[in-house]
Amino acid sequence: MKKTYKIEVDCANCANKMELAANQIEGVKTATVNFMAQKMIVEFEDGREPKEVMPQVLKKCQIVAMDCEIFF
């Protein structure tokens, strides 16, 4: 399953760090952050529920970019 989320991030470097962090989360198959569009596209591993995985993604992203926001 693939879902798109609106994000708020201030710089391209932080967006890159968010992408790297999201891809380390168990349950995320791939994550791509588009800084210009302020969107994150996440493809989840089979059998994983987005509502269970995304809080972990947000927590990890806020470690690398404290002022980021993901709206899900």
H helix or E strand, kind and range, residue 29: strand 28-34
The angle that helices 50-64 and 12-22 make with each other, rounded to 10 degrees, is 140
Residue-wise pLDDT tens digits, 26-71: 999 999 999 999 999 999 999 999 999 999 999 999 998 888 889 9
Q: Where are the alpha helices (DSSP H) in the chain?
A: 12-22, 50-64
Q: How far apart are CA 10 and CA 30, in angstroms?
A: 22
pTM of the model: 0.91
Instruction: Count Cβ neighbours within 10 Å for each residue of 8-31 and write b for 16 or more, e otherwise.
Output: ebeeeebbebbbebbbebebbeeb
